[in-house]
A and B are shown apart, each in its own frame.
Chain A
């Protein structure tokens, strides 16, 4: 696989086909967990891990899986993988489990994981599949971080609250109070706030894309711009 293809995988995962704001897959955990930056990034990291590994394994076994039963086999692989990660984290990384543990089972029902297994890993070699899973997961993490940030500022007036759960008591000092003496805006914390926030993010991405498309057109046809001016 050439470098250009990796570039495309990365660009698709992070921006062009972003799981959260373009593909709109896996919205259930996205909407439930994006109440704060820390929660959002927590789910994001867990998703990155699961997607990279599940894509790699699906790609490894792809020639032994008959087409008719590929979906049940992929679901089985993903469920086994998520359960193993859940158990292993609980047993050997207790501190991390206390923070991320609650998100891990949510990933079984994240259709991004199955979506990438079906759309990419079942047709591509192991390493590119792993990169694809990693990048799609990272794209979702970025969306979760931005959405979590919006909802946290509006809902609680802070940023990074709960970071002490990941980095210990001293990290409490990292919490940024954006709006002092804020009494909270419940709508932003509740599920409707997640839908509205996600809608704004999608609109924002489309606006950026359209602006970029417009400026590329303008470069191609400078005369028309002059004429219009």
Chain B
């Protein structure tokens, strides 16, 4: 009797395993077929974002070929190497574009692109990707609201550390009532990125450039 149950269970498990196998193969295939396209469209979107946060008059170098690979940094919240873009004006460093991750959004990580001028001023910030609540926490996107422009022109010198918070926590930055976790995470990430830049300025500009082919 018990061996009947056993055989039956084995059979069911085999059916389930077969479905799982087909399902995961389909997923692996789709992932493989789409990953180049997805990476390409993400890169295109990133370049369009850079143009928004870094005014053209700030640089005269080919910013794409002067990109460098930055190893993971605790201060930037990055877990793998990211691409950083260096802007030069007449051969002198004028700004950098850093990728940073705010790990403590309401629904996971918020990927940011932060442009910082050589003097430490924020040139602009944009959200690359996030999973915040649609209609509530998504006002960090430039398409939904101007909120993210509130970082323009700020710096560590302009605001002391205690001001790098949302107004609800006694800081300088606005937030929408009912959705403060999202801006809190973004403000914290930008603050940390500025701190990282002020310490590592020289190091970032001396990183070897990636080849253009990449």
Q: Which residues of A contact B (CB under 8 A)?
A: 32-33, 35-36, 39, 64-66, 68-69, 72-73, 76-77, 79-80, 83-84, 87-88, 90-92, 94, 102-103, 105, 162, 165, 186, 189-190
Q: A186-B178, A189-B135, A189-B178 are contacts. A76–B19 as well, Cβ < 8 Å? A: yes
Q: List 13 A-B contacts (CB under 8 A).
A: A35-B135, A65-B15, A69-B12, A76-B23, A83-B30, A87-B30, A91-B37, A92-B37, A94-B41, A162-B144, A189-B136, A189-B178, A190-B136
A73 in contact with B135 (CB, 8 Å): no
A103-B45 Cα distance, complex, nearest whole Å: 20
Q: A39-B134, A88-B30, A88-B34 are contacts. A186–B177 as well, Cβ < 8 Å? A: yes
Question: For residue B24, which residues in chain A have a CB less than 8 angstroms away from its CB?
Answer: 80
B41 in contact with A32 (CB, 8 Å): no
Instruction: List 4 extra interface pairs beyond A32-B135, A35-B134, CB under 8 A.
Output: A32-B134, A68-B12, A90-B38, A103-B134
B133 interfacial contact with A, CB 8 Å:
yes
**Nearest CB to that of B39 among chain A residues?**
A91
Question: For residue A66, which residues in chain B have a CB less than 8 angstroms away from its CB?
Answer: 11-12, 15
Cβ distance A123 to chain B, nearest Cβ, rounded Å? 19
B16 interfacial contact with A, CB 8 Å:
yes
Question: For residue A83, which residues in chain B have a CB less than 8 angstroms away from its CB?
Answer: 27, 30
A129-B35 Cα distance, complex, nearest whole Å: 32
Cβ distance A133 to chain B, nearest Cβ, rounded Å? 19
Q: A87-B34, A91-B38 are contacts. A39–B135 as well, Cβ < 8 Å? A: yes
Question: For residue A162, which residues in chain B have a CB less than 8 angstroms away from its CB?
Answer: 144
B19 in contact with A102 (CB, 8 Å): no
A214-B41 Cα distance, complex, nearest whole Å: 58
Question: For residue A33, which residues in chain B have a CB less than 8 angstroms away from its CB?
Answer: 134-135
| B118-164 at interface with A (beta carbon < 8 Å) | 131, 133-136, 138, 143-144
Cβ distance B83 to chain A, nearest Cβ, rounded Å? 20
Question: For residue B131, which residues in chain A have a CB less than 8 angstroms away from its CB?
Answer: 102, 105
Of B23, B34, B35, B134, chain A has the most CB atoms within 10 Å of the CB of B134
